Amino acid sequence: MEIKVFKEIMDENLKLAEDNKKLFKDRKITAINVMASPGAGKTSTIMKLITMLSEKANFGVIEGDIASTIDAEKFEKIGIPVVQINTGGGCHLDANMIKGVMDDFDVKDDSIIFIENVGNLVCPSSFDLGENVKLVIASVPEGHDKPYKYTSMFEAADFVVLNKVDLAPFIDFDRDAFYKGIKALNPDAKVFEVSCKTGEGFTALVDYILEVHNQSKK
């Protein structure tokens, strides 16, 4: 009984994700589903990318949170089209929520939209949103064992960002173990090491985001 209900929800989600995918394609929008633990640096990474790419692309941000508009306000302040989804307790975004906000979202065609999912390394990986790519952000202080514990998240990732590398000297983070875990689950996923604080590593990430946008418009 429970399983049946769950399957219905997943089927319905996939159908709506297909609708979103079509909408994004028609409008030459690249949607990036950004997933991470609470506090890994989703908002900071998106903010840094938008700032660095502001003259090369248009942007929009869809903010997913249980509660609050703290992060959405940051993007509004710098003039980026942003819409907030408060899940009211829900642990992930779903395709229907994205569909619901796209109608009134004043984002330009040919934009890159960052969809900042609820901070959670579990549930968001199961729900396609119709995004072009899934980005998982890990951070050095969380520890190198995350790929081993949150396997479906790292399997789902199209690419991975390892943030807060500036803190590496103060933390016992085993880089080899981290990479080994990702390679075992997801051999093709690129990994970018960055620090939102110092800015290191962002040049390569910025180039990659532009490449993804150009590829997805083809």
198-217: contacts with a second copy (CB under 8 A) = none
Taking a C-beta distance cutoff of 8 angstroms, is the pair 191, 160 a contact? yes
Residue 142 Cβ vs a second copy, minimum distance, rounded to whole Å: 3
Nearer to a second copy, 24 or 178 (CB): 178
Residue from the set 105, 148, 179, 208 that interacts with a second copy by CB under 8 A: 148
* CA gap 71, 82 in Å, rounded: 10
157-176: contacts with a second copy (CB under 8 A) = 164, 166-167, 170-171
Nearer to a second copy, 57 or 142 (CB): 142
* CA gap 166, 202 in Å, rounded: 13
- Dmax of the chain from CA atoms? 52
Nearer to a second copy, 5 or 187 (CB): 5
Site membership for a second copy, residue 89 (CB under 8 A) = yes
Residue from the set 13, 30, 33, 37 that interacts with a second copy by CB under 8 A: 37
Site membership for a second copy, residue 184 (CB under 8 A) = no
Residue from the set 26, 67, 103, 176 that interacts with a second copy by CB under 8 A: 67
Stretch of residues binding a second copy (CB under 8 A), selected from 54-62, 84-92, 128-136, 203-211: 84-92
CB hemisphere CA count around 193 (13 angstroms): 8
Nearer to a second copy, 44 or 111 (CB): 44
Residue 34's DSSP bridge partners are 116, 135
Nearer to a second copy, 29 or 185 (CB): 185
Site membership for a second copy, residue 139 (CB under 8 A) = yes
Stretch of residues binding a second copy (CB under 8 A), selected from 13-21, 50-58, 97-105, 142-150: 142-150
Residue 54, number of CB atoms within 10 A of its CB: 13
Q: Which residues bind a second copy (CB under 8 A)?
A: 1-2, 5, 9, 37-40, 65-68, 70, 89-91, 118-123, 126, 139, 141-143, 145-146, 148-152, 164, 166-167, 170-171
